[in-house]
Each structure stands twice: as C-alpha cells, then as structure tokens.
C-alpha cells in the first residue's frame, strides 16, 4: 500500500522552534543572584542541578491540569531550594519578576523561520503542538514572532489534552486539517513528541534532542538542527 504524500508537519515549540533552554540559561545567573540574596548559604551549583532535575515532575503536573502555573513555579522553586530554605512571598515575587525574561527574550533557533517558510512554499501546512498554559505559550509565539509562520496552533491548555496523549495529536491534526498518515511530527522530547507521534500513527517523526539523551526508536529520524528536517522527510529543497 502506497502512503499518501506528506501534507502537513506539526512542530513542538520549546527547544524545537524556539531556544527556550538557551533563554533560560542566559538569565540563570540573575535568578541565582536573587535567590542568594535571600538565602546566602545556598550552593549555587547544587541549586542549579536540583532546579533542572525537578522540572519534569512539576511540569507534568501543570500540563495534566492538576496545578496552575503559579503553583507549578512555586513548587518547583521550593523543591529545588528545600535543602537550604523555604520560599517566602518576597523571594517568590522577585524570582517571578526575573523569570519573565525567559519569555520576553525568547528567540527562534537559527534557520527556524527560513525552514518554516521553505516548507510552506512547498505547499505544506504547518502547525505547533505544545504542552503548557495558553497565556504562556501564546506569549512565546508572539515574542519569538513564530505565530505568523504557522497555519495552526494547538496548545494543551486550550485543547484539553497534552502530549503524548493521542487526543492531543488528534486535536492538532483537526486544527491543521490533515490526517495522521500525511503529517509528520518534529520535537525535542523522546516521549512526548517522538513516541507520542509514532503511537498516534503519524507518517513520520523527527527527534531534535539537543542535549537530551536517549535511543532513537525504529522509524524515527534524528536532526541536530531544524534545517535538516526537510531533507530527513524526503522533501525537496526550496
């Protein structure tokens, strides 16, 4: 049986189209400075390690809708800081103010916009499928200027389902107007984007791991930068 030609591509947002980790790293010292002012005994290197390690567990609670964004942020900080101190209201307010820079200074990866425009010039429909609160992900799309480059935007906080749930992919495909067997998924998360996309029956999946580790599953493609995506999907250069 011949597969239908590719008509659409879904992209993850954070660390796939936009350099969210890079933005977070750039402002980390300012965040750590604020924390150290309130907790002088903090070990900054250990705090950084803990802060990164506890992210996934707390973020999964947020995307599942079990906590709001304010609670997610406070619990993550409290968890990371727990060996040294608790989080009071003043510290949390100052931390929140500094963290705004992660969003407001967000930029696309090099070649992201050019790649999207080249794909649209081939007649493909492009969308984003991202986990997170509506207000946060919409702001990222606005600041990074990626929104106008997309035909569909599917945010877990709006569609009522989060990757890797098949319902999230189904909702995104409905917004994009394409079927699973004629749509590819590109993302940095092995579980959410790659395995989720394969289980949802998408025509192709591309993993952009960045610094993440893991084993590429059968049927998936590996890209080190977004400009490689068209070639990996067998699309002509434009």
Q: What is the token pair recorded at 37?
A: 């002012």
pLDDT at 185: 98
pLDDT averaged over the chain? 95
pLDDT at 238: 59
CA dihedral for 79, 98, 34, 32, sign (positive or negative): positive
CA distance 140 to 38: 29
pLDDT band (50, 70, 90) for residue 63: confident
Question: Using one digit for the tens of pLDDT, what is the confidence trace for 91-108?
Answer: 999 999 999 999 999 999
- Using the predicted structure, report yes or no on whether residue 65 has a pLDDT greater than 90: no
Question: Using one digit for the tens of pLDDT, what is the confidence trace for 132-174?
Answer: 999 999 999 999 999 999 999 999 999 999 999 999 999 999 9
Q: What is the largest CA-CA distance in the chain?
A: 66
- Using the predicted structure, report yes or no on whether residue 1 has a pLDDT greater than 70: no
Contact 154, 172 (CB under 8 A): yes
Lowest mean per-residue pLDDT among 57-71, 90-104, 176-190: 57-71
- Using the predicted structure, report yes or no on whether residue 44 has a pLDDT greater than 70: yes
Q: What is the percent of the chain where pLDDT is above 70?
A: 98
pLDDT band (50, 70, 90) for residue 4: confident
pLDDT band (50, 70, 90) for residue 10: very high
């Amino acid at each position: 049986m011949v597969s239908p030609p590719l008509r659409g591509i879904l992209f993850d947002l954070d660390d796939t189209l936009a350099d969210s980790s890079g933005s977070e790293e750039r402002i980390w010292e300012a965040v750590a400075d604020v924390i150290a002012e309130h907790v002088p005994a903090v070990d900054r290197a250990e705090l950084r390690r803990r802060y990164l390690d506890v992210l996934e567990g707390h973020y999964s609670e947020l995307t599942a809708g079990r906590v709001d964004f304010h609670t997610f942020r406070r619990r993550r900080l409290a968890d990371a800081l727990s060996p040294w101190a608790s989080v009071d209201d003043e510290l949390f307010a100052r931390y929140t103010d500094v963290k705004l820079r992660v969003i407001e200074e967000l930029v696309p990866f090099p070649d992201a916009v050019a790649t999207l425009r080249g794909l649209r010039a081939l007649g493909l429909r492009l969308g984003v499928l991202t986990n997170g609160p509506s207000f946060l992900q919409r702001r990222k799309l606005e600041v990074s200027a990626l929104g106008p480059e997309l035909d569909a935007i599917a945010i877990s906080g709006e569609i009522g389902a989060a990757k890797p749930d098949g319902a999230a992919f189904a909702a995104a495909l409905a917004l994009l107007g394409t079927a699973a067997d004629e749509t590819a998924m590109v993302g940095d998360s092995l579980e959410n984007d790659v395995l989720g996309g394969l289980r949802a029956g998408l025509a192709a999946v591309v993993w952009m791991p960045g610094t993440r580790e893991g084993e590429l599953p059968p049927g998936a493609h590996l890209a080190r930068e977004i400009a490689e995506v068209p070639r990996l999907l067998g699309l002509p250069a434009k």
